[in-house]
Amino acid sequence: MYSTSSMAAPTSVVVLDRGNNTTCTINLHGATVVSWRVNNQEQLFVSKQAVFDGKKPIRGGIPFVFPQFGPWNFGPQHGFARIMRWHLEKPPERLHTGDVEAIFSIMDNEFTRSVWNYPFRLSYRLILREKELHFNIGVYNPSKELTFSFNLLLHTYFKVPDVRRSQVTGLHGCTFIDKTRDGAMYQETRDVVTINEWTDRIYQNTPQEHIITNVVSGRKMRIQKYNFPDTVIWNPWVDKAREIADFGDDEFPNMICVEAGHVSTPVILLPGTAFEASQILQVM
Ligand code: TA6
């Protein structure tokens, strides 16, 4: 049902096994989902150049972005959660439905407080279903007097045979920040978004559902998100791919990042309160 094995020290991984070659592998470094296989078909992209040294973020899978999305004056880009070693709060357990569930968590420590001086608790529950992967996130502010604000995003790298043949629905009419055009704002006029160049866009107040066509085996991927008002679309394309050391020059056609997040505006968490968000990925 699950195992923990050690790859290159000091990271270790947790495998959820639902049977029928349906598995989910989580690296405790960043609680990064590094594999999701449905009937033995890998759904996620991980770069062949990815580094598993327990220091660098893992290039691919589903890095966990918290408490900052993007560049950060106080700490690492995309925050510290994706480079922390997470705790396996609840080892994988088979539910009565046959699904497999595990819970991962982090809380503030000396390192996090040195860059972001707030107490926090973060829990990350994954449920592996037959053709779905569910993500439930809770961020808790245990302070009695401090309010803090944060971004939260699942930086999902989907594996595709050829990104030029994939489409993303559910963005028509949305405003977006275009990081390839100096962060200027535009409105999406296309019914479906396609990728034919360097793409790095933060779509705002997007619908709860997106469909990506032509993922693995020509199937579709449905993304449902709750309390994640934004959707980031990213593909580095040729030039940026060359600039990224842990990304192969020839890998950009085989991935598309469609990232559910709360990034345009921060979440503001009052003392003693919690924030919850969730995502469901479904192979159609
Ligand atoms: O989510 C898109 C993005 O913000 C891009 O701007 C690009 O920087 C990407 O994340 C990867 O960032 P990373 O820090 O993992 O290299």
Is 232 touching ligand 1 by the criterion CB < 6 Å?
Answer: yes
Is 155 annotated as catalytic?
Answer: yes
Q: Is the distance from CB of 76 to CB of 84 less than 8 angstroms? A: no
3-state secondary structure 85-151: ECEEEEEEEECCCCCEEEEEEEECCHHHHHHCCCCCEEEEEEEECCCEEEEEEEEECCCCCCCEEEE
Q: Is 12 exposed, middle or buried (0-12, 13-18, 19+ CB in 10 A)?
A: middle
pTM tops 0.85, yes or no: yes
Q: Residue 1: pLDDT band by 50, 70, 90 thresholds? A: very low
Indicate which atom in ligand 1 lies nearest the CA of residue 63.
15
Pairwise CA distance, residues 270 & 168, whole Å: 35
pLDDT greater than 90 at residue 8: no
Other CB atoms within 10 A of residue 95 CB: 11
**Ligand 1 pocket member 77 (CB < 6 A):** yes
Ligand 1, atom 14, residue with closest C-alpha: 77
pLDDT per position as a tens digit, 98-123 = 999 999 999 999 999 999 999 999 99
Residue 46 CA neighbour count, 13 Å, CB half: 19
**Residue of 58, 64, 77 with the most ligand 1 atoms within 8 Å of its CB, for mutation:** 77
User: Which pLDDT value is given to residue 10?
Assistant: 52
Predicted confidence (pLDDT) per residue in 186-240, tens digit: 999 999 999 999 999 999 999 999 999 999 999 999 999 999 999 999 999 999 9
Spacing, Cα 207 to ligand 1 middle (Å): 22
Q: How many CA atoms lie within 13 A of 241 on its CB side?
A: 20
How close is the Cα of 70 to the center of ligand 1, in Å?
Answer: 7
pLDDT value, residue 211: 98
CATH number for the domain running over 6-160+225-283: 2.70.98.10
Computed over every residue of the chain, the mean pLDDT equals: 96
Task: Assess whether the C-beta atom of 57 lies below 6 angstroms from ligand 1.
Answer: yes
Structure confidence at residue 9 (pLDDT)? 54
CA 94–ligand 1 middle distance (angstroms) = 34
Residue 60 is given by DSSP the state: B
Q: Using one digit for the tens of pLDDT, what is the confidence trace for 64-95?
A: 999 999 999 999 999 999 999 999 999 999 99
Mutate to test the pocket of ligand 1, among 177, 200, 235, 263 (most ligand atoms within 8 A of CB): 200
**In the prediction, which pLDDT does 11 show?**
55
Average pLDDT over residues 157-178: 98
Ligand 1 centroid vs 74 CA: distance in angstroms?
17
DSSP class of residue 243?
H
